[in-house]
Amino acid sequence: MNLYGWDTAFAIDLSVANAALARNQGSLLVGFTIDDPDGLQVRAEGSFGGWQIAEGGSGQFITVRLPIVDGWLELGTQGDWVDLAGTTFVASVALDLIPSAIPDAEDLRFDVTTAGKVGEPPVAGAITPIRMDDPDERLDELQEALLLASLATYIAQHADRISFVFATVNLVPPQSDSWLTPVRSAFSYADRSDGTGGALVILSVTSDRSIDDLPRSVDPALLARDHQAAFGISQALLLENVIMPSLPPAFGHGATPASFTYDQQARQIVNLQPLGMNSVRWGAIDYDPQIDRLRLGIDGSDLRARYEGSCDLKAGISMTFWIEPVNRIVYDDGTKALAFLADANPKSDYDADIPWYWWLGGPIVRAIVGIVVPAIASGIADSLTSSVGSMLSPARNPPTSIRWQDTQDLQIATAWVEGDFVMTGDFART
């Protein structure tokens, strides 16, 4: 899964958006009256049925279908009267986020100020006619061309009547999971790769950075086929805001949030100070291994780490060791939290410069390694599972900063990590 540099992505199936459009026809144009626009000698009148979004948009542009349930067309040059009932006006139009009437919020709305022309590429701010769907073939080429131009002009001139809001983005951090609050957002339409439908997606960054160079691209893996919506969280946010805060309790021994930082360039968590571990007793002496260097990141569905440590063996002798566990990340549907599976056979090695005469050195080193390796490969994984369960509240209480029209809270059905973190589910019924 790839968010292409965005921090979050919230996608809904077209069926959700179309249901909201159907319930809010009063906030859309419901009819048209055309009388000689721009000297085209066109007269027409009619009523639109429910506006619908069709498959086939791209980026900020969607394809809309406006069925005409009753109406007529008359051209002054021909004098022919054409029944328009059953035809459909199909056009391309952009959606854009604009300041909301709600303080510190943005609304996703139709962006219509001008009329485009048939055959031209869509541009922001224009409603660009594509075709008239005319199953009974009542319109000839001239009639269709003039009707398309006239309807686009009419809609652009009366765009102030189109007040439908697809979604509202609240820019004020909520009490929980404030790290998911959007700072800047953009809209994108996406078709599923298998041709089974499309989705509306709000892409966001959660820090004060430019989005001008970020592509309005959506990975098909985000588009849930069996559910109404999906919410994606970038690998960086997952590491920095879910896994990293879980490390102090996982390591213990005085580890604090200040012990770790996120290396944006390497896309890994690193330690800023040595990390203590449980003592290893051999005979009457306690030996205290520590982690000197830690690098932890996500590769696909795995948490991959390298721990480099050392241990003072007394008498001026020490050892060093490294361990590279690979912990598979899975989602527990019951607890709605991530779990990190233990690595039964992690890569590891050690080095100790032990004098030949110190015969206890070998057994002590092996004893320390025998404790340290499973403690890291399994113990830290178990501790992370426990700690992350309390950190990953979005899976139990999904983010509320973005609210799609006529929806309630998103109820997560399942989730997974594949580079980035994806949660899919359905909206609670009212």
pLDDT, position 391? 62
Same domain, 246 and 385: yes
Query: Which of 163, 198, 215 is the last residue in one of the domains?
Result: 163
Domain that holds residue 80: 25-163
Same domain, 155 and 245: no
pLDDT, position 277? 85
pLDDT, position 407? 92
Same domain, 158 and 274: no
Could you tell me which residues come within 8 angstroms of residue 166 by beta carbon, excluding any fewer than 6 positions away? 17, 20, 95, 107, 108, 109, 200, 404, 405
Query: Which of 102, 136, 163 is the last residue in one of the domains?
Result: 163
Which amino acid is residue 391, in one-letter code? M
- 224 in a domain, yes or no? no
- 204 in a domain, yes or no? no
Residue 214 tokens, joined: 């970020």
Q: Which residues pair with residue 305 across a beta bridge?
A: 296
Backbone angles phi, psi at 290, to 5 degrees: -145, 155
Is-contact 401 185, C-beta < 8 A?
no
pLDDT, position 368? 74
Dihedral angle sign, alpha carbons of residues 179, 181, 184, 189: positive
CA distance 275 to 296: 14
Is-contact 169 97, C-beta < 8 A?
yes
Dihedral angle sign, alpha carbons of residues 264, 265, 267, 271: negative
pLDDT, position 361? 57
Is-contact 155 372, C-beta < 8 A?
no
Same domain, 366 and 266: yes
CA distance 267 to 296: 9
Is-contact 64 52, C-beta < 8 A?
yes
pLDDT, position 352? 75
Residue 122 tokens, joined: 């869509």
The conformation of residue 395, written as its DSSP 8-state character, comes to G
Output the DSSP codes for 52-88: EEEEEEEBTEEEEEEEEEEEEEEETTT--EEE-TT-E
Alpha carbons within 13 angstroms on the beta-carbon side of residue 316 total 1
Is-contact 93 110, C-beta < 8 A?
yes
pTM of the model: 0.90
CA distance 142 to 152: 16
Same domain, 243 and 385: yes
Average pLDDT per run of 10 along the chain, which is 430 residues long?
94 95 95 83 93 94 98 83 96 97 94 96 97 96 94 96 96 77 95 83 96 93 85 94 90 93 96 89 79 95 93 78 91 84 86 61 71 74 75 66 92 91 85
pLDDT, position 314? 75
Query: Which of 163, 194, 209 is the last residue in one of the domains?
Result: 163
pLDDT, position 428? 84
pLDDT, position 396? 64
Tally: H helices and E strands in the chain: 6, 27
- 222 in a domain, yes or no? no
Is-contact 372 387, C-beta < 8 A?
no
Same domain, 250 and 355: yes
- 319 in a domain, yes or no? yes
Same domain, 142 and 29: yes
Same domain, 243 and 384: yes
Segments of 251-370 assigned E as strands: 260-263, 268-271, 275-276, 280-282, 285-287, 290-299, 302-312, 318-324, 326-332, 337-340, 347-352
- 203 in a domain, yes or no? no
Same domain, 159 and 251: no
Is-contact 108 169, C-beta < 8 A?
yes
pLDDT, position 124? 96
Is-contact 60 94, C-beta < 8 A?
yes
CA distance 323 to 267: 19
Query: How many other CB atoms sit within 10 Å of the CB of residue 140?
Result: 13
- 362 in a domain, yes or no? yes
Q: Which residues pair with residue 169 across a beta bridge?
A: 106, 402
Domain count of the chain? 2
Residue 214: burial class (beta carbons within 10 Å; 0-12, 13-18, 19+): middle
Q: Cα 102 to chain center, whole Å?
A: 24
Euclidean distance between the first and final Cα of the chain, in Å? 32
Reference 161, options 261, 297, 31, 276; nearest CA is: 31
Same domain, 155 and 246: no
- 399 in a domain, yes or no? no
Same domain, 283 and 154: no
- 197 in a domain, yes or no? no
CA distance 327 to 302: 6
pLDDT, position 373? 76
Query: How many other CB atoms sit within 10 Å of the CB of residue 405?
Result: 20
